[in-house]
């Protein structure tokens, strides 16, 4: 092999980062793979735009077929984002025998299984390390590092925007809207933050992690999702008082063969390793039956961290090319999917309700829990300034989700209950 030729779909900040790293590390890459690697064609929308990266005009094209149908290109790196167009390009590239590296989490969450099957059929590599937790080599760790273990639980802080917001709210006692605005000004949150703050971005990443970690085809619709936009300063103050830290946690758990995958604001004991993950950082906690607790921490986004992951994937593809073993490490799910029903999902919960400040109310509330066999670890009752209202905060013992949902519904129906103000799952005590 004289040289390995790479085509790039997209030249935004991540794409530019990839070009820069390949240029800057040319000597080391030659040492690692034994021949030069060259970016030859780049798909862009605008040929005229000024770009802060060393490229010649003839490298740019507005026509994707010049890359995906180009016989002289060995590897396609997809950093254009979006869904249908990216899927079509990658499918065609794979069918043309090109290896693909992508950072596209939306795509892998929705079309991952299809793309991986096509890659395998065509003996191509399809790597996507950068799609989850940008700078953390978590997918490789799951596939290789923990290959001899059985992963039973993954908990991820996989969205930097929401972790930044929750960290600021917790540390500075500030309101959600206020911190969101700061995050937008600092560039940690987008103008339309919905996908981040409502948990959709995290759900996509958990879909990818659960599929790989449990080797079963988890789909986006299997993930129950709740965002952070309704968290209040009161909730955070109570959590801290009880020794918990609030995080937006993606949870993928299996008991026997049955799975649950969710993304929701979750209380973790302060001593849990994920509780210390601050600001825009990401981390994935993995529990293996043999290895026990492990955690992988790093930047979740950013052009250079993401580009680093992409180039690491590129190096893996190129090594495989030199060895003639492409497609062998493409992992497709091997087990059928069995989801837990709500009866089989159990957890502890934190609940904050407002009640009439009258004799007998407390007993009414607690006896409702008893009806469902739910018991408490902690109860705090505080009279509020509003006359005639008291606030009750409860921490339950483990309860099934079915029972818990019934309790919530029945509470809302009680005459003495003025409102269920907040409800959060508690995780991370024990394994």
Catalytic positions: 205
For a second copy, the binding residue among 323, 360, 385, 387 (CB under 8 A) is 323
Nearer to a second copy (CB atom), residue 80 or residue 314 = 314
Neighbours of 405 (CB within 10 A): 14
Nearer to a second copy (CB atom), residue 328 or residue 375 = 328
Q: What is the C-alpha separation between 246 and 275, in angstroms, rounded?
A: 8
Query: From residue 215, how far is each of 30, 34, 139, 143, 210 by CA, in Å?
Result: 34, 34, 12, 10, 8
Residue 264 touching a second copy (CB under 8 A): no
Question: Taking the mean position of all CA atoms in its chain, how far away is CA 152?
Answer: 17
Residue 21 touching a second copy (CB under 8 A): yes
Q: How far is the CB of 315 from a second copy (least distance, A)?
A: 5
Residue 325 touching a second copy (CB under 8 A): yes
Residue 148 touching a second copy (CB under 8 A): yes
Contact of 158 with 196, CB cutoff 8 Å: no
Strands (E), 240-290: 244-255, 258-269, 281-288
Q: How far is the CB of 371 from a second copy (least distance, A)?
A: 40
Residue 248 touching a second copy (CB under 8 A): no
Residue 431 touching a second copy (CB under 8 A): no
Nearer to a second copy (CB atom), residue 122 or residue 399 = 122
For a second copy, the binding residue among 232, 278, 402, 406 (CB under 8 A) is 278
Degrees, nearest 5: CA angle 257-259-262 = 170
Nearer to a second copy (CB atom), residue 273 or residue 420 = 273
The alpha-carbon radius of gyration of the chain (Å, integer) is 24
- Contacts with a second copy by CB under 8 A: the residue count is 54
Nearer to a second copy (CB atom), residue 30 or residue 380 = 30
Cα dihedral across residues 426, 427, 428, 431: positive or negative? positive
Cα dihedral across residues 283, 287, 290, 292: positive or negative? positive
Strands (E), 289-416: 292-299, 338-339, 346-356, 376-383, 389-396, 399-400
For a second copy, the binding residue among 176, 188, 281, 424 (CB under 8 A) is 281
Q: Which stretch binds a second copy (CB under 8 A): 46-54, 70-78, 107-115, 319-327?
A: 319-327
Nearer to a second copy (CB atom), residue 261 or residue 318 = 318
> 80: closest CA among 93, 71, 95, 70?
93
Site string for a second copy, 73-92 (x = CB under 8 A): --------------------
Residue 32 touching a second copy (CB under 8 A): yes
Residue 301 touching a second copy (CB under 8 A): no
For a second copy, the binding residue among 123, 312, 381, 389 (CB under 8 A) is 312
Tokens 């507005």 map to which residue?
62
Nearer to a second copy (CB atom), residue 203 or residue 318 = 318
Residue 55 touching a second copy (CB under 8 A): no
Q: How far is the CB of 395 from a second copy (least distance, A)?
A: 23
For a second copy, the binding residue among 7, 135, 227, 250 (CB under 8 A) is 135
Strands (E), 190-339: 223-225, 244-255, 258-269, 281-288, 292-299, 338-339
For a second copy, the binding residue among 67, 200, 268, 315 (CB under 8 A) is 315
Residue 132 touching a second copy (CB under 8 A): no
Rounded to whole angstroms, the maximal C-alpha distance in the chain is: 85
Q: What is the dihedral of CA 98, 102, 107, 110, to 10 degrees?
A: 80
- What DSSP designation does 90 have? H
Residue 147 touching a second copy (CB under 8 A): yes
Q: How far is the CB of 207 from a second copy (least distance, A)?
A: 21
- Specify the 3-state DSSP secondary structure of 32: helix
Q: What is the C-alpha separation between 420 and 403, in angstroms, rounded?
A: 16
| Bridge partners of residue 182, in order along the sequence | none
Residue 194 touching a second copy (CB under 8 A): no
Nearer to a second copy (CB atom), residue 303 or residue 402 = 303
Contact of 89 with 68, CB cutoff 8 Å: yes
Contact of 365 with 335, CB cutoff 8 Å: no
For a second copy, the binding residue among 9, 236, 307, 345 (CB under 8 A) is 307
Reading the block at residue 46, the tokens are 């605008």
**Which residues in this chain contact a second copy in the complex, by CB under 8 A?**
17, 21, 25, 29, 31-32, 129, 135-137, 140-141, 144-150, 271, 273, 275-278, 281, 283, 288, 290-299, 302, 304-305, 307-309, 311-312, 314-316, 319, 323, 325, 328, 334
């Amino acid at each position: 092999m004289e040289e390995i030729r790479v085509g790039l779909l997209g030249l935004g900040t991540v794409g530019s980062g990839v070009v820069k790293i390949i240029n800057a590390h040319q000597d080391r890459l030659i040492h690692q793979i034994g021949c030069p690697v060259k970016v030859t064609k780049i798909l862009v929308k605008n040929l005229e735009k000024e770009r802060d990266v060393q490229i010649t005009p003839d490298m740019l094209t507005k026509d994707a077929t010049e890359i995906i149908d180009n016989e002289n290109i060995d590897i396609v790196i997809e950093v254009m984002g979006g869904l249908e167009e990216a899927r079509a390009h990658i499918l065609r590239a794979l069918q043309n025998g090109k290896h693909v590296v992508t950072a596209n989490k939306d795509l892998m969450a929705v079309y991952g299984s299809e793309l991986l099957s096509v890659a395998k059929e065509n003996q191509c590599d399809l790597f996507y390390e950068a799609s989850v937790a940008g700078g953390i080599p978590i997918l490789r760790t799951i596939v290789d590092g923990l290959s001899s273990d059985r992963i039973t639980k993954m908990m991820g802080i996989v969205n930097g925007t929401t972790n930044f917001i929750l960290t600021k709210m917790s540390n500075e006692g500030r309101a959600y809207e206020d911190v969101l605005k700061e995050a937008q000004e600092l560039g940690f949150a987008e103008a339309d933050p919905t996908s981040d703050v409502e948990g959709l971005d995290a759900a996509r990443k958990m879909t990818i992690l659960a599929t790989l970690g449990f080797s079963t085809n988890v789909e986006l619709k299997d993930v129950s999702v709740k965002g952070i936009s309704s968290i209040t300063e009161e909730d955070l103050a109570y959590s801290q008082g009880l020794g918990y830290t609030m995080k937006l946690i993606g949870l993928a758990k299996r008991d026997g063969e049955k799975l649950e995958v969710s993304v929701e604001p979750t209380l973790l004991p302060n001593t849990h390793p994920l509780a210390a993950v601050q600001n825009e950082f990401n981390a994935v906690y993995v529990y293996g039956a043999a290895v026990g607790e492990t955690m992988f921490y790093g930047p979740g986004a950013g052009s250079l961290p993401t580009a680093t992951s992409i180039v690491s994937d590129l190096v893996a593809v190129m090594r495989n090319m030199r060895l003639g073993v492409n497609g062998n490490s493409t992992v497709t799910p091997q087990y059928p999917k069995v989801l837990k029903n709500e009866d089989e999902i159990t957890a502890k919960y934190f609940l904050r309700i407002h009640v009439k400040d009258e004799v007998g109310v407390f007993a009414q509330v607690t006896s409702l829990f008893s009806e469902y066999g739910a018991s408490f670890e902690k109860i705090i009752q505080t009279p509020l300034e509003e006359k005639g209202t008291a606030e009750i905060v409860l921490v339950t013992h483990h309860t099934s989700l079915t029972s818990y949902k019934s309790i919530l519904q029945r509470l809302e129906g009680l005459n003495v209950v003025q409102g269920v103000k907040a409800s959060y799952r508690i995780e991370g005590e024990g394994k």
